[in-house]
Amino acid sequence: MSSDRTRTATSPERDRPWLIRTYAGHSSASASNALYRQNLAKGQTGLSVAFDLPTQTGYDSDHVLARGEVGKVGVPVSHLGDMETLFDGIPLDKMNTSMTINAPAAWLLALYIAVAEKQGVKRADLQGTTQNDIIKEYLSRGTYIFPPAPSLKLITDVAAFTYREIPKWNPMNVCSYHLQEAGATPEQELAFALATAIAVLDAVRDSGQVPDDDFAKVVGRISFFVNAGIRFVTEICKMRAFCELWDEITRDRYGIADEKYRRFRYGVQVNSLGLTEQQPENNVYRILIEMLAVVLSKNARARAVQLPAWNEALGLPRPWDQQWSLRLQQIMAYETDLLEYEDLFDGNPAIDRKVAALKEGARAELAKIDAMGGAIAAVDSGYMKGELVRANAKRLSDIENGITRIVGVNAFVETESSPLTAEGIQSIMTVDDMAEQDQITKLAQWRAARGGAAVRQSLENLASAARNGENIMEPSIACAHAGVTTGEWSQVLRDVFGEYRAPTGVTSLVLGEDDIDPADEKMVDLRGRVDAVSQKLGARMKMLVGKPGLDGHSNGAEQIAMKATEAGIDVLYDGIRWTPDDLVQNALKRKAHIVGLSILSGSHVALVRDVVRGLRDAGAGHIPVVVGGIIPESDMLVLRQMGVAAVYTPKDYQLVGIMADMVGLVDGRADQYGANDAGDSTPATTSEKVALY
């Protein structure tokens, strides 16, 4: 029999498989612990922890901004007790744990270390990753807290601490994943991620916390978290370009001689942006193709892979859906012969040409960022965010106009009904609304049971370390053991460092002639309708685009703001993280004619109810409210019953049509807007309105 047929998974000729993960966490620490145990029993080889939005943004579960958000997109962790419950029965010295946490990464790592110490595990035996990439939070995901400079200091503290105390820990996971989700081109994804890594390594080098002789060890522990999209060949070449560029940067900029410290080490989650609500069963094929892009090329193979589930465009996946994605990885790793061969693409001229082109484009973008003063300066100026918004607008325009074809969306839309989503089948998991109240009750009990003096002293020590520029990791671990909560830890650093509101990428853009196509008949007609409605109103039609709650995924809100402005509507958009009352007061003060809310965290019912009720209580119930997000069909009915005028989900990709709907809503209520809504000035025509406010 041929040796090709007799090789087994234990053959020394096979490479070791990548870490096999699923990204998981929901409801409560106990529910998430049960899910982790199930997944580990099914053959998962590493944990990837999803935290809820209050935890990610440094709030306790009972904070006003946490309303409706607790346990929705991840697990709430408010204190050491929650972290102990989360890892109950999971020996941390045997586990490789990735934690998707950024602004409070130092705190969650401190809690993790405190749990390990209570388990009797030595710090040096821990292995895993804290994502800890705050720059991409300013650009795409929105879970930032502090300004860039102190945020960079916190990342530096974690890097300096872990290389000494936890040498197998990755202190930072530079995330190009979220850049692609925000619309980045491959060249932008390469350049923006590498610029972020450079900013961090420069900060660590210049901090004085790491001796020159040890700096290579820190470089060797920087890891990356990368996106793999559907353009299969481009994604393979992008990963090879990442490896080659990182090798150049670490060798030439930082003088790292040892190749093992220059290795591009990355984990991946394949693209969620391209998953479709229409014909969602097709997403299984998309996930497979995207995974192949990061495992086929041995010299650029991912070290850890986590896959989304086929139904993530519909809502929260069930355990069975996560198992389906887990099995895909296992089949690839253990049933195929992929791990028995050298790199399949070395010497391929088409691959070499594409890699060279991507590197050239990325180098040009890196030079531009470097000339601005680096990644932090490019964030503060709004340059990087503005470029992502513009690139995403081009991507969506190509879909809307049929230039980019997506099966089931704008091509091959005819379909049989799917047995996976048939009526009567619960095709997604929902979080019990009582989970939030249960978490709040347990939080109150935790506060009542702990020692107040120890908490106060540990927080004073933390504040002192932050004010004096000392490394905050040891004081944070002491806070964890004393019983400090996530909100308390974050508030101390808010008091010292201040809070930050990142540029939206919308307020800095001005639409030029090249951005407005006079041959676009639908848009020309829409502008005419906006002008006509504005004449009726006696003022230029105004739309408030709002992000209530803690959901920081602002891509949809930004693109609605862009398209509305192109249509001639005055857009009021102040970015993310507002309470419903903030948005109501803003709509009234700035005389909005329509309110558009974007919510992707699953908290739409509670937050929208508060906005609608607030407008009615203020005598402004005539202002229509429209909502966009990942919203199940059953919730659409609930939203409409509470008075929402229109609901849009990812399947609604025709932005001009959405704008036309909104203009129609305002037109139908034009006689209900009072003098206070109209303003004093004569409405400008569309041709006079090209700047984004």
Looking up residue 634, the CATH number of its domain turns out to be 3.40.50.280
63, 72, 136, 178: the active-site residue: 178
pLDDT at 417: 86
133, 551, 610, 677: the active-site residue: 551
63, 547, 591, 689: the active-site residue: 547
Residues 397 and 479 in one domain: no
Task: Enumerate residues 6+ apart whose C-beta is below 8 A from 374.
Answer: 195, 198, 199, 202
pLDDT at 7: 47
163, 177, 266, 500: the active-site residue: 177
Residues 476 and 532 in one domain: no
DSSP 332: I
23, 138, 144, 573: the active-site residue: 23
Residues 240 and 123 in one domain: yes
Q: For residue range 536-546, what is the model confidence (pLDDT) as tens digits?
A: 999 999 999 99
23 given a catalytic annotation? yes
**pLDDT over 90 for what percent of the chain?**
68
Q: How many domains does the chain have?
A: 3
238, 442, 553, 689: the active-site residue: 553
Q: For residue range 472-526, what is the model confidence (pLDDT) as tens digits?
A: 999 999 999 999 999 999 999 999 999 988 777 675 444 444 555 666 788 889 9
pLDDT category at 630 given cuts 50, 70, 90 is confident
Q: For residue range 398-453, what is the model confidence (pLDDT) as tens digits?
A: 988 899 999 988 899 898 888 888 776 777 777 777 889 999 999 999 999 998 99
261 given a catalytic annotation? no
Within a domain: 63:
yes
63 given a catalytic annotation? no
Residue carrying the six token digits 């990464």: 105
Within a domain: 502:
no
What is the domain range of residue 646? 521-672
Q: How far is CA 184 from the centre of its chain?
A: 13
Whole-prediction pTM: 0.87
Q: How far apart are CA 139 and CA 386, in angstroms?
A: 9
Q: How far apart are CA 328 and CA 380, in angstroms?
A: 41
26 given a catalytic annotation? no
285 given a catalytic annotation? no
Q: Minimum mean pLDDT among 19-33, 182-196, 485-499: which range?
A: 19-33
pLDDT category at 549 given cuts 50, 70, 90 is confident
Task: Enumerate residues 6+ apart whose C-beta is below 8 A from 389.
Answer: 182, 183, 505, 506, 509, 558, 559, 562
pLDDT at 20: 86
Residues 531 and 613 in one domain: yes
Residue 165 in contact with residue 116, Cβ under 8 Å?
Answer: no
Residues 540 and 473 in one domain: no
177 given a catalytic annotation? yes
Residues 528 and 457 in one domain: no
Residues 111 and 204 in one domain: yes
